[in-house]
Amino acid sequence: MVDIAVSDMSIPSDRLAAARSFSRSDARFRALTATAAFIVVAAFVGIIIALVSGSWLALKTFGFGFLTTEVWNPVTEKFGAVAPIAGTLITSSLAMLVAVPVGIGIAIFLTELCPRSLKRPVGIAIELLAGIPSIIYGIWGLFVFAPFFQATIQPRLIDWFANIPLLRDLFAGPSYGIGMFTASLILSIMILPFISAVTRDVFDAVPAVIKEAAYGLGCTKWEVMWQIILPYARIGVVGGSMLALGRALGETMAVTFVIGNAHRINESLFAPATTISAAIANEFTEAVGDLYLSSLIAIGLMLLCISFIVLGLAQYMIAILERRAGGRSQ
């Protein structure tokens, strides 16, 4: 039996020094990335602890009734989170119903149908919408869109749906111009660049050979988009839509300007309402008393929980889509 020993003396000193330097660099890099990850986790845990501790007084005082009560009266110190939670969910859902089809349509146009000379200018113009501050959207919505909506669109919608049993309740009431429907439309404009930009990038990532093969079999553009590109890119489309939904759930200033800021639930989408973020922005500086402040922090905790649920559902949907895609490929 022959023992083979390799010592540092058998390696040139310059190579040994370089190897030790690389090892130290790897250790420093590993420590730096671990520290960065720990900071993110620590900040996240700190936010949760701060919200739970700040909202504990309201949760202890009202109990589960905080989630089932509509009343919000700072004078009598009676608070319930139903109205802002409902307003947040309704406005975000309506915004997604408008923005997702339009965003996907824009992505389809830019990737498959747009002339080459217009593709770049149109794409840049759409992406610039994402850089506009939300308060600008709010000012434009309050002073430009809301008066136009009040004088032109809202009365016509009320007349069109006046004789339809369900829709006449949803589109009823006086023409304020502001309300949940207006806030939803402003939100849809704000989240549109996120959906269209992500979806366009995903569509561009579809291998050209797949599309060429479909065209070679005689498929039309509609068939290629519906049966080839969309199924191939569905995970990215869902991811972009969830990113936009996260923006819609937490939007504050633009919604505050045009939603009307009323702590009540109405059947009509034209009625004033409020969202969690709008309620906090409007009332946080005026919150006198520990219970009032704790109630505002509690609805902030509810918004965080809603975001968690949305993120979990998004991950679950993506996992299902990946599983189905894997099953088809076998």
| CA separation for the pair 106, 199 (Å, rounded) | 9
| CA separation for the pair 123, 194 (Å, rounded) | 12
**pLDDT computed for residue 329 by the predictor:** 46
15 in any annotated domain? no
3 in any annotated domain? no
Q: Do 147 and 37 belong together in one domain?
A: no
Residue 47 belongs to what domain range? 21-62
| CA separation for the pair 267, 166 (Å, rounded) | 10
CATH of residue 182's domain is: 1.10.3720.10
> Locate tokens 């939007």: which residue?
251
Residue after which a domain boundary falls, among 12, 42, 62: 62
Cβ atoms of 177 and 147 closer than 8 Å: yes
Q: Do 183 and 169 belong together in one domain?
A: yes
Q: Do 172 and 270 belong together in one domain?
A: yes
Q: Do 43 and 186 belong together in one domain?
A: no
8 in any annotated domain? no
Residue after which a domain boundary falls, among 62, 90, 112: 62
Model pLDDT for residues 120-175, shown as the tens digit of each residue: 888 888 878 888 888 999 999 999 999 999 999 999 998 898 888 888 888 888 88
Residue after which a domain boundary falls, among 62, 90, 114: 62
Cβ atoms of 79 and 292 closer than 8 Å: yes
Q: Do 78 and 25 belong together in one domain?
A: no
User: Would you tell me how many other CB atoms lie within 10 Å of the CB of residue 101?
Assistant: 11
Q: Do 44 and 151 belong together in one domain?
A: no
100 in any annotated domain? yes
Q: Do 75 and 45 belong together in one domain?
A: no
- Element (DSSP H or E) covering residue 50: helix 13-62
**pLDDT computed for residue 5 by the predictor:** 46
Crossing angle of helices 290-329 and 234-250, rounded to 10°: 170
Q: What is the pLDDT along the chain (330 residues), one digit of tens a residue?
A: 444 444 445 566 766 666 666 677 777 888 889 999 999 999 999 999 999 999 999 999 998 889 988 899 998 989 999 999 999 999 999 999 999 999 999 888 888 888 888 888 888 888 788 888 889 999 999 999 999 999 999 999 988 988 888 888 888 888 888 999 999 999 999 999 889 888 888 888 888 888 888 888 888 888 888 888 888 888 888 888 888 888 899 888 899 999 998 898 888 999 999 999 999 999 988 888 899 999 999 999 999 999 888 888 888 887 887 777 665 544
186 in any annotated domain? yes
6 in any annotated domain? no
Strand partners, 79: 72
- Element (DSSP H or E) covering residue 79: strand 78-79
**Alpha carbon separation from 128 to 192, 193, 325 (Å, rounded):** 11, 8, 34
What is the Cα 34 distance to its own chain's centre?
Answer: 28
User: Would you tell me how many other CB atoms lie within 10 Å of the CB of residue 143?
Assistant: 10
CB < 8 Å & 24+ apart, contacts of 137-144: 137/186, 137/189, 137/190, 137/253, 137/254, 138/186, 138/253, 138/254, 138/255, 138/256, 138/257, 138/258, 139/257, 141/182, 141/183, 141/186, 141/254, 141/257, 141/258, 142/178, 142/257, 142/258
pTM of the model as a whole:
0.84
**Alpha carbon separation from 42 to 46, 48, 100 (Å, rounded):** 6, 10, 34
Q: Do 238 and 297 belong together in one domain?
A: yes
Spatial neighbors of 207 by CB under 8 A, at least 6 apart, are: none
Q: Do 325 and 303 belong together in one domain?
A: yes
Q: Do 83 and 208 belong together in one domain?
A: yes
**pLDDT computed for residue 211 by the predictor:** 85
| CA separation for the pair 284, 229 (Å, rounded) | 47
